[in-house]
């Protein structure tokens, strides 16, 4: 079983869609505000269920949960934190965190693009042109590149999700 705790914006929704495609009914997706994440992490850790893999995307944990998650992993739990915010870069010191702000080509990242890459690399999802297009629209919206590129499709996708 899998649990995804992610942000309640388009980038977080993109991660939720990818999780459903990768894991189907085996994933519980929960969308959180920035303030809502840490209580959810605390509830997850209180269960002490090492059978459930935890994914955290597009959000970062506080220092207290950072230490608790590391302890959880050291005692056999499986956690992956995937983020793109500069404020989370310090988490890269942990084996369970992957924070990348910018790609090698200079493009800014988003959680959806990083999660997609992770799922493909782990063989949990197969690359598809339609998914790549979706991920790129989310990335452009989340990084505001849609404005620079005049990509109204990315803006429309965001508008669609928040009608």
SS3 of the chain: CEEEEEECCHHHHHHHHHHHHHHHHHEEEEEECCCCHHHHHHHHHHHCCCCCEEEEECCCCCHHHHHHHHHHHHCCCCEEEEECCHHHHHHHHCCCEEECCECCCCCECCHHHHHHHHHHHCCCCCCCHHHHHHHHHHHHHHCCHHHHHCCHHHHHHHHHHCC
Distant-in-sequence, close-in-space partners of 27: CB < 8 Å, separation ≥ 6: 1, 2, 3, 4, 19, 20
The mean pLDDT value for 54-67 works out to 97
| pLDDT band at residue 97 under the 50/70/90 scheme | very high
- Tell me: pLDDT of 72 over 80: yes
Indicate whether 38 pLDDT > 90: yes
Question: How much is the pLDDT for 162?
Answer: 75
Residue 163, pLDDT > 80, answer no
pLDDT above 80 (res 20): yes
Lowest mean pLDDT among 14-23, 47-56, 72-81: 47-56
Q: What is the pLDDT of residue 48?
A: 72
The set of residues, in sequence order, having a beta carbon less than 8 Å from that of 9 and lying 6+ positions away, is 58, 142
């Amino acid at each position: 079983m899998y649990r995804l705790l992610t942000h309640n914006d388009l980038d977080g929704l993109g991660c939720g869609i990818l999780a459903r495609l990768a894991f189907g009914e085996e994933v519980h997706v929960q969308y959180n505000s920035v303030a809502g994440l840490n209580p959810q992490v605390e509830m997850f850790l209180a269960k002490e269920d090492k059978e459930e893999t935890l994914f955290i995307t597009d959000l970062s944990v506080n220092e207290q949960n950072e230490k608790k998650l590391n302890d959880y992993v050291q005692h056999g739990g499986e956690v992956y934190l995937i983020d793109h915010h500069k404020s989370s870069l310090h988490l890269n010191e942990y084996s369970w965190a992957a924070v990348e702000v910018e790609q090698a080509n200079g493009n800014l990242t988003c959680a959806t693009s990083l999660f997609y890459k992770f799922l493909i690399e782990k063989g949990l999802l197969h690359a598809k042109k339609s998914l790549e297009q979706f991920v790129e629209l989310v990335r452009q919206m989340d990084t505001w590149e849609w404005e620079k590129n005049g990509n109204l499709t990315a803006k429309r996708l965001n508008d669609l999700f928040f009608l």
